[in-house]
Amino acid sequence: MIDKLSDEDLLHHSMVNAYKLLTKKELLEDLIDIDEGVFPFNPTIKIEDDSVYDKIIDYFCELEEYEKCQEILNIKNKKK
């Protein structure tokens, strides 16, 4: 399935997966089983760089999905 997506669709899919994983709406194992687990970062390594969160927030802000932006921002801030 993943190999048939355009670059834009693949980016969107990876950002949605990142959102689901970071907000704990889905487990990593389930996301991998469903669609081969496409992510904009390595989900098996703890996120140390805030830019990962910032890129996800920026992506959803561009789509005007502000609720998702706020959820990710809250997670980023709790990390500190």
Closest by CA to 16, choosing from 54, 59, 46, is 59
**How does pLDDT run along the chain (80 residues), one tens digit per residue?**
566 778 899 999 999 999 999 999 999 999 988 767 899 999 999 999 999 999 999 999 999 999 999 999 999 999 87
Q: What is the pLDDT of residue 44?
A: 92
The per-type count for the chain, helices as H runs and strands as E runs, is 4, 0
pTM, to two decimals: 0.89
